A and B are shown apart, each in its own frame.
Chain A
């Protein structure tokens, strides 16, 4: 700036930094705003609206900051740099509640279970088992990747204690077949039972559990064979978004029963019945696991031509979405309920259909922390809500 001194002052750093800062500003101005970030799996902040209220309580300032940060030039690159610094240079082994495991495995750190709520759920399940004695009741709580694939955990990762929790749960339940699939899954722990980048299990994982659960449902898993198709090799799931680790792509498979098994799938929040369990359009989106049954819905009814005179009620979380493909050859009708989104009650469903079998299928982490299942099982139906 001032050139008239004897020794020209060195302003290299000032000039370079100002240039860099202004460059980023200019790039940010000229790149169009993004609405959604695939890598982070969330909506990005839009340019805030200015209001007197917002200006006077300071929230406009906050919103502008969020907007600038969300729409900053090369946002994903910056996230990648900070992930690399934390995981590789600083050696952190857990990021945002996700273990950075071996061989690119990401695993969700299970949340701490609430003893009261587990007891509440067990009581509610026992009450239903007792009330509907003529139905075959089964429950399968699937241990998560942290419990099954222990060899992929980062060194010294503490035990998630799920085995203990499941044993305790089984002791609380009465009159119901408790399917413990831990052993079956542990025996195949070196295979890809869970996705590397998603908190769900793979179709292989579901199939392994299916073979172990089948006897409790009174079905023979060997009576039907399945064709395995690979439908995607570019799946990056929720754990990739949550942790910021984007170096691995998962392969997705589907298991289709051999032979001709026409079926119709009706969604409670959709209009038309569909002829398949798979909604292939989701393979082109971020949420590829929604391939199975189109993601989460309050109620899904699958009607098949199995002609076995059996109707299954499946009370479940999203783990079951890729499990249903193994059940279709064995039941005439499968009513799939996700209590987290369903305001109905168990009585309403059981009165409407002639259910012969009832299966609770959850993953251990969701089951232990969930609160909607007990509500679904215990609440009587609100009158105004019946349509």
Chain B
């Protein structure tokens, strides 16, 4: 009788683990149905946009070496003055295989900016090292350098997951 009780306990735990793993895996790999414009609006509301302006495609190419037309949606905000480093990039991937190269492009952009401001711009370095984040979720990719990077990140995750 006791053994029966223990069996239930064990398998309940196994079922719970499987459930957790399944929801975790399902949550991040599904393709989001959110409208890119809505996501953009959501992240722009949580980020501090005072230093930023929307960028033409040319600038996306120059900063990231990527071609915006290859993605379903691509928006970049960049600093109004050149001595600022605030940036916000939101991309809706056409297919998930683009994620890898996009992540590398973002990484090299961040490295290049760090290289430029290292030992000159203390405040800029602070933003670049401690207030920058890259997230990819449900077919969207998001990169931000901003004082409110944490908030914007959370807003991004909520928006693409439709919360």
Contacts and interface: CB of A to CB of B under 8 A. Distances in A.
Interface of A: 36, 41-43, 45, 51, 53-54, 59, 199, 238, 241-242, 268-269, 287, 295-298, 318, 340-343, 369, 371-372, 375, 379-380, 382-385
Given A341-B82, A379-B62, A42 B126 contact: yes
Nearest to B129: A42
Contacts of B154: 51, 53
Contact of A36 (B56, B122, B130): B122
A384 B56 contact: yes
A371 B111 CA distance: 11
A242 B120 CA distance: 12
10 contacts: A41-B119, A241-B119, A269-B81, A295-B120, A298-B82, A340-B116, A343-B82, A371-B112, A372-B112, A372-B116
A188 to B, nearest CB: 26
B51 interface: no
A298 B154 CA distance: 34
A366 to B, nearest CB: 9
Nearest to B79: A343
Interface size class of B (residues with CB under 8 A): 20 to 34
Given A298-B82, A342-B82, A382-B59, 14 more contacts: A36-B122, A41-B119, A41-B122, A42-B126, A45-B130, A53-B153, A54-B150, A295-B120, A296-B83, A318-B120, A343-B82, A379-B62, A382-B58, A385-B56
A42 B119 CA distance: 8
A43 B82 contact: no
A6 B116 CA distance: 68
- Residue with the greatest number of chain B CB neighbours at <10 A, chosen from A42, A369, A372: A42
* Chain A binding surface, main DSSP class: loop
A297 B83 contact: yes
Contact of A42 (B81, B82, B125): B125
A296 B119 contact: no
Nearest to A51: B150
Nearest to B108: A371
B96 interface: no
B69 to A, nearest CB: 16
A365 to B, nearest CB: 11
A349 B130 CA distance: 35
B123 interface: yes
Given A43-B126, A269-B83, A297-B83, A238 B119 contact: yes
Nearest to A380: B58
B37 interface: no
Contacts of A383: 56
Interface of B: 56, 58-59, 62, 81-83, 112, 115-116, 119-120, 122-123, 125-126, 130, 150, 153-154
Contacts of B153: 53
B122 A43 contact: yes
Contacts of A369: 115
A375 B56 contact: no
B56 A341 contact: no
Given A51-B150, A53-B154, A371-B112, A343 B59 contact: yes
Contact of A298 (B56, B83, B126, B130): B83
Contacts of A372: 112, 116
A382 B119 CA distance: 30
A380 B58 CA distance: 9
A380 B62 CA distance: 10
Nearest to B58: A382
A26 to B, nearest CB: 28
A341 B122 contact: no
A322 B88 CA distance: 35
Contacts of A51: 150, 154
Nearest to B153: A53
Nearest to B59: A382
A110 B20 CA distance: 49
A59 B62 CA distance: 32
A51 B148 CA distance: 13
A342 B81 CA distance: 9
B83 A53 contact: no
B56 A382 contact: yes
Contacts of B130: 43, 45
Closest 10 CB pairs of A and B: A238-B119, A43-B126, A382-B58, A298-B82, A341-B82, A382-B56, A340-B116, A384-B56, A53-B154, A375-B62
B58 A341 contact: no
B118 to A, nearest CB: 8
Contacts of B112: 371-372
